[in-house]
């Protein structure tokens, strides 16, 4: 989409900022929080409305924990982990998080329903403008082809278009809209197939579950239950053994 839009594509209004971040997952919200904390005028766009759940990602490593601390997120009461348990090929490995000067010696567990909203609200408190129920439909470009923003449609509480079209313009646009990133694809970024493939979510009270997806063996080992009582699982992928 370019600045020369047809009458049917004309926005009902235009918002401007220094930076537009598309996607209020952990990456997008963290980026928006850091930018806003440094005085940058940033708009953070999210297709859904909070709270909303996501598959996988409930376990936070010490590296992720350090990022949360650096962001200034209050993690009081969050459940902590001391390491990983890995099962495969008849073996069990218990790996405690290492003690280093760089990262804390613990990880944490937080459901994506909780984590994503807390990070988005944190970015909002830092000064970012969070806009929920906004589905980005494509990039905006100037006559030279440079991306100058995104076009979006507003959604109602059922996820249906309201008919309101909004352009969000900024000199910098950051695509944080997930592994499939339609925005990145729309501006010509090639999809890296090694990051594709099937996904699955496991919610089980069992100590250990192994199942197969395509060419991979998937091992799931739940962490301790989260505060709402659901087990949170760590998932590992390994090549599926060849048939003998």
**pLDDT single digits (tens) 116-130:** 999 999 999 999 999
Residue 83 has pLDDT above 80, yes or no: yes
The Cα–Cα gap between 94 and 87 comes to 9
Instruction: State the pLDDT confidence band at 229, using cuts at 50, 70 and 90.
Output: low
Q: Specify the range with the lowest mean pLDDT, choosing from 116-125, 150-159, 229-238.
A: 229-238
* Per-chain mean pLDDT for the chain: 80
Residue 54: the pLDDT is 83
Q: What is the pTM of this model?
A: 0.74
**pLDDT single digits (tens) 164-217:** 999 999 999 999 988 777 888 888 777 666 555 443 333 333 333 333 334 444
**Alpha helix segments (H runs only) across the chain:** 26-37, 62-71, 112-126, 182-186
Q: Which is more confident, 173 or 224?
A: 173
Domains annotated for the chain, with CATH where assigned, are 7-58+111-195 (3.50.50.60)
């Amino acid at each position: 989409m370019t600045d020369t839009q047809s009458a049917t594509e004309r926005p009902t209004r235009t918002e401007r900022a220094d930076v537009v971040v598309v996607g209020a997952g952990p990456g997008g919200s963290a980026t928006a929080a850091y930018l806003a904390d440094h005085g940058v005028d940033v708009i953070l766009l999210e297709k859904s409305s909070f709270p909303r759940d996501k598959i996988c990602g409930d376990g936070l490593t010490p590296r992720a924990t350090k990022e949360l601390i650096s962001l200034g997120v209050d993690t009081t009461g969050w459940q902590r982990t001391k390491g990983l348990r890995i099962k495969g090929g008849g073996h069990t490995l218990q790996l405690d998080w290492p003690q280093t000067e760089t990262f804390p010696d613990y990880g944490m567990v937080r459901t994506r329903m909780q984590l994503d909203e807390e990070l988005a609200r944190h970015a909002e408190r830092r000064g970012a403008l969070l806009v929920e129920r906004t589905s980005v439909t494509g990039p905006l470009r100037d006559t030279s082809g440079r991306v100058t923003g995104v076009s979006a449609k507003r959604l109602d509480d059922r996820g249906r278009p309201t008919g309101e079209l909004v352009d969000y313009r900024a000199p910098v646009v950051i695509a944080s809209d997930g592994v499939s990133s339609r925005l990145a694809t729309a501006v010509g970024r090639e999809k890296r197939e090694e990051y594709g493939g099937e996904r699955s979510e496991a919610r089980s009270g069992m100590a250990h579950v192994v199942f197969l997806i395509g060419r991979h063996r998937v091992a799931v080992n739940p962490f301790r239950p989260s505060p709402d009582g659901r087990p949170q699982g760590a998932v590992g992928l390994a090549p599926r053994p060849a048939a003998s």
